Amino acid sequence: MAYFLQQLINGVTLGATYGLIAIGYTMVYGIIGMINFAHGDIYMVGAFISLVGFLLLALFGVTNVPLACFLVLIFAMAFTAVYGWTVERVAYRPLRGSQRLAPLISAIGVSIVLQNFVQLSQGARVKPLPPMIGGSFTLSSEGAFAVTISYLQIGIILVTVALMAGFTFMLRYTSLGRAQRAAEQDKTMAALLGVDVDRTISMTFIIGAALAAVAGLMVTLYYGVIDFYIGFIVGIKAFTAAVLGGIGSLPGAMLGGMLIGLIEAFWSGYFSIEYKDVAAFSILVLVLIFRPTGLLGRPEIEKV
């Protein structure tokens, strides 16, 4: 039971990062009906910006860890949001009225550009970050095995819950949230009623990129190593989480992220770690066979 609880904590922590990235996929799909395949590399850019932020603060003598993490969080979210806005303006807006395949190809092109840009500017080697947040709580022990949850894991879970609560409030009770829901239902009618659809779509990309930056910061702190290729693998898993939970559903994106994280953690803990990705994608296949819209997704109703 102690080992089970430890894997549960690890899975929830990992799932929180997948969920934050998956929200970006599901938001963009919900409002324009297309998948932003450059979103995983936006997350990668957020991780590198976080690392650069920590190095700059160390250069200026900022050694207070909570203050440094807060400043880097704001720094990473702001700069990564600019990247998200640029992707929308360059890869999506000029092609919004074209065939659906054209923006998809454009997004893949932007993904490759971002990977190569970071590889050339930061180098291809793995970039390490020394541990910054230490300490943990011992929840229980069973013989020589102790169940612990680190301060960093607690922080990741609390930040994820706070962001989900804030984002849900924004979506339900603010003018931007109402504009997003209106544009998701019918962009033409929303524009006729005074909604600035272009601005709403741009803000959606910006918010998704900012959430990906938070995930990038958390992964950088949690694992301590990043490289220019992390966006591809994590992006695919976050996209899988969005599809598993129900593409277009924000609670579904977080639920899917948690499920993918838990599957990986438990499979790695009880079976061969080399096949954890196979297990995660196999669960996705089974869910989509019996529920094609995902766990919380709703079938699209075509209006005639």
Q: What is the pLDDT of residue 301?
A: 57
In tens, the pLDDT along 222-256 reads 998 999 989 888 888 888 888 888 887 888 888 99
As separate numbers, helices (DSSP H) first and strands (DSSP E) second, the chain gives: 11, 4
pLDDT over threshold 70, residue 299: no
Q: What is the pLDDT of residue 303?
A: 52
Sequence-distant (≥ 6) Cβ neighbours of residue 96 within 8 angstroms = 32, 103
In tens, the pLDDT along 186-217 reads 888 888 888 898 899 999 999 999 999 999 99
Q: Given pLDDT bands bounded at 50, 70 and 90, which one contains residue 154? A: very high
Q: What is the pLDDT of residue 298?
A: 67
Residue 285 located in a structural domain: no
In tens, the pLDDT along 40-74 reads 999 999 999 999 999 999 998 888 888 999 999 99
Residue 3 located in a structural domain: no
Q: What is the pLDDT of residue 68?
A: 92
Residue 282 located in a structural domain: no
Contact 108, 239 (CB under 8 A): no
Q: Given pLDDT bands bounded at 50, 70 and 90, which one contains residue 221? A: very high
Find the distance separating the first CA and the last CA of the chain, reported in whole Å.
55
How many structural domains are present in the chain?
Answer: 1
Q: What is the pLDDT of residue 302?
A: 54
CA-closest candidate to residue 124, choices 215, 226, 54, 217: 226
Span 166-172, mean pLDDT? 86
Higher pLDDT, 141 or 222: 222
Q: Given pLDDT bands bounded at 50, 70 and 90, which one contains residue 278? A: confident
pLDDT over threshold 90, residue 285: no
Higher pLDDT, 147 or 81: 81
Contact 104, 34 (CB under 8 A): yes
* Residues composing the chain: 304
Query: Hey, how many other C-beta atoms are within 10 angstroms of the C-beta on 19?
Result: 31
Statement: the pTM of the whole predicted model exceeds 0.75: yes
Determine which helix (DSSP H) or strand (DSSP E) holds 242, and give its type and residue range. Answer: helix 230-245
Residue 151 located in a structural domain: yes
Residue 98 located in a structural domain: yes
Mean pLDDT of the chain: 87
Residue 131 located in a structural domain: yes
Span 263-274, mean pLDDT? 86
Residue 300 located in a structural domain: no
- Amino acid sitting at position 126: V
Residue 52 located in a structural domain: yes
pLDDT over threshold 90, residue 270: no
Q: Which domain holds residue 59?
A: 14-231
Span 158-187, mean pLDDT? 88
pLDDT over threshold 70, residue 168: yes
CA distances from 211 to 57, 77, 180, 293 (A): 22, 7, 17, 24
pLDDT over threshold 70, residue 258: yes
Tell me the CB-side half-sphere exposure of residue 54, using CA atoms within 13 A: 21
Q: What is the pLDDT of residue 236?
A: 86
* Dist. CA 4–CA 291, nearest whole Å: 28
